[in-house]
């Protein structure tokens, strides 16, 4: 995707292959700043502090974290220690585990002397695969948008939650890949962007990247979606996800479940876009089994924004002394999901279809 006309990925190796660079997502939309990750600890911190975020990008950053670590120490013990540090960075997105375990499985049979170069190449392969996967999701999902347009004969209104655009992946995004693909093909569309409290990934990141691409969009407060659906102003919802169970339960940013309930009540199709590494085949019941991240209360009690003097400042929203709870994700049961848009096609959210996907 392009920023001010210049193509970017969200993570890329430096010219001398000594480190990786990222876009610091905690500074968007008001400042565009890139950061250099020199060590595995830098990668772990970038994931934990959400300078990189979004399930697929977390997985790729972790893979590069393993590669950076192998430069310094490539013994079996170092590989094991590296993997456990990175696995603890954030709990919910299964792509983190997927990326780390893929690196571990690839590197473990190799001699220690071979691991540094091999790890770098494997991390780059994972990044490239993510781009190809998301492009395929874009193709499959754009057909749904196009079909709605053909039936409706007018602008398609898509609602999305959080940021599952290119900033959440290496490129293209998951939920927004169909939007970009349809938009580039000339399908008239407009995106309702949930602001996505508390960290405002919708208002800060989704709105920014849609704006960079020229896609018409409107930011709404998280509670507005149901109202818009009741008035026929949402044709479909597409969200991303952090983990999908083997029976199709979907874990995504907190508030997704409420959107799915409202969509169900109003007959609005509710799609979830995901790369297959986001499927956790070891789990069935998402509500009971998926670990839900709880982050610092300050993310709820405080908010940062651009002041009139051009400075970004943080202010307190809540009364002194009020406690706040900050649950990062929720689970939408499979019965509320119209379809899962994967790189292999659109499948129903149920155990049989997921099984066919795995074997197909």
- Mind telling me the catalytic residues? 242
Q: x/- string (CB under 6 A) for ligand MRU, residues 290-329?
A: --------------------------------------x-
Nearest to 64 by CA among 24, 120, 108: 120
Give Cα 284 distance to the centre of its chain.
21
Using rule CB under 6 A, residue 43 touches ligand MRU: no
Distances (CA, A) of 16 to 13, 35, 174: 8, 15, 30
- Which residue's CB atom is positioned nearest to ligand MRU? 240
Q: Which of 74, 86, 241, 336 binds ligand MRU (CB under 6 A)?
A: 241
Give the residue carrying structure tokens 């509670």.
Answer: 223
Nearest distance, CB of residue 25 and ligand MRU, angstroms: 8
Helix axes 55-72, 94-107, angle to 10 degrees: 30
Binding mask 251-270 for ligand MRU (x = CB under 6 A): -xx-----------------
Q: Which stretch binds ligand MRU (CB under 6 A): 34-42, 52-60, 109-117, 222-230?
A: 52-60
Q: Is 158 in the site for ligand MRU (CB under 6 A)?
A: no
Place of tokens 């597409």: 238
> Burial letters for 127-143: b for 16+ Cβ neighbours within 10 Å, e otherwise?
bebbbebbebbbbbbbe
Q: Output phi, psi for 151, to 5 deg.
A: -70, -40
> Which one-letter DSSP state was computed for residue 259?
H
Least distance in Å: CB of 136 to ligand MRU?
A: 14
**CA triple 228-234-235, angle to 5 deg:** 160
How far is it, in rounded angstroms, from Cα 247 to Cα 332? Answer: 12
Kindly calculate the radius of gyration of the chain based on its CA atoms and give it in whole angstroms. 20
Interface map 69-98 toward ligand MRU (x if CB under 6 A): ------------------------x-----
- What is the enclosing helix (H) or strand (E) of 339? strand 339-342
Q: Does 215 bind ligand MRU (CB under 6 A)?
A: no
Q: Which is nearer to ligand MRU, 118 or 303 (CB)?
A: 303
Would you say 54 and 9 are in contact if contact means Cβ atoms under 8 Å apart?
no
Of the candidate spans 67-75, 136-144, 169-177, 221-229, the one that interacts with ligand MRU by CB under 6 A turns out to be 169-177
d(CA 48, CA 95) in angstroms, rounded, equals 14
Q: What's the rounded Cα separation, in Å, for the pair 160 and 177?
A: 12
**If binding is defined by CB under 6 A, does position 171 make contact with ligand MRU?**
no
273 near 178, Cβ under 8 Å? yes
Among 28, 37, 43, 55, binds ligand MRU (CB under 6 A): 55
Q: Can residue 62 be called a binding residue for ligand MRU (CB under 6 A)?
A: no
Rounded CA-CA distance 158/259 in Å is: 12
From the list 112-120, 145-153, 236-244, 264-272, the region that binds ligand MRU by CB under 6 A is 236-244
- Strands 270-273 and 339-342: what pairing? parallel
* One of 70, 126, 168, 191 touching ligand MRU (CB under 6 A): 168
Closest C-alpha among 150, 314, 339 to residue 244: 339
* 217 is an interface residue for ligand MRU by CB under 6 A: no
Which of these segments, 76-84, 179-187, 235-243, 314-322, binds ligand MRU (CB under 6 A)? 235-243
Q: Which stretch in 47-55, 67-75, 218-226, 260-268 sits in contact with ligand MRU by CB under 6 A?
A: 47-55
Residue 9 in contact with ligand MRU, rule: CB under 6 A: no
| Residue 200 engages ligand MRU in binding (rule: CB under 6 A) | no
| Among the listed residues 20, 40, 56, 270, the single contact to ligand MRU using CB under 6 A | 56
Residues 135-154 that bind ligand MRU (CB under 6 A): none
Q: Which residues bind ligand MRU (CB under 6 A)?
A: 53-56, 93, 162, 164, 168-169, 173-174, 201, 240-242, 252-253, 328
């Amino acid at each position: 995707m392009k920023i001010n006309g210049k193509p970017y990925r969200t993570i890329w190796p430096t010219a001398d292959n000594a480190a990786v660079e990222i876009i610091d997502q905690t500074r968007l939309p008001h400042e565009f700043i890139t950061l250099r990750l020199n060590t595995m600890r830098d990668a772990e911190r970038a994931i934990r502090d959400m300078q990189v975020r979004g399930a697929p990008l977390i997985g790729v950053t972790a893979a590069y974290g393993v590669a950076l670590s192998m430069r310094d120490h490539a013994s079996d013990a170092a590989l094991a220690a590296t993997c456990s540090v990175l696995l603890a960075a954030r709990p919910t997105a299964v792509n983190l585990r997927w990326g780390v375990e893929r690196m571990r499985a690839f590197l473990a049979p190799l001699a220690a002397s071979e691991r540094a170069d091999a790890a770098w190449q494997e991390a780059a392969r994972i990044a490239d695969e993510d781009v190809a996967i998301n492009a395929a999701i874009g193709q499959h999902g754009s057909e749904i948008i196009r079909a709605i347009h053909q039936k409706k004969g007018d602008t398609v209104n898509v609602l999305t939650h959080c940021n599952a655009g290119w900033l959440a992946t290496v490129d293209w995004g998951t939920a927004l890949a169909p939007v970009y693909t349809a938009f580039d093909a000339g399908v008239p569309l407009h995106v309702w962007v949930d602001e996505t409290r508390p960290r405002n990934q919708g208002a800060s990141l989704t709105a920014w990247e849609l704006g960079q691409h020229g896609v018409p969009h409107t930011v709404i407060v998280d509670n507005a979606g149901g109202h818009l659906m009741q008035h026929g102003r949402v044709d479909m919802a597409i969200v991303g996800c952090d983990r999908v169970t083997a029976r199709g339960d979907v874990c995504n940013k907190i508030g997704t479940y409420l959107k799915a309930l409202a969509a169900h009540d109003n007959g609005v199709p509710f799609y979830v876009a995901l790369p297959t590494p986001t499927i956790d085949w070891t789990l069935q019941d998402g509500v009971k089994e998926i670990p839900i991240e709880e982050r610092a209360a300050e993310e709820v009690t405080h908010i940062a924004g651009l002041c009139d003097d051009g400075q970004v400042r943080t202010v307190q929203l809540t009364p002194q002394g009020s406690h706040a709870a900050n649950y990062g994700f929720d689970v939408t049961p499979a019965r509320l999901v119209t379809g899962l848009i994967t790189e292999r096609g659109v499948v129903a959210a149920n155990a049989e279809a997921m099984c066919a996907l795995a074997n197909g």
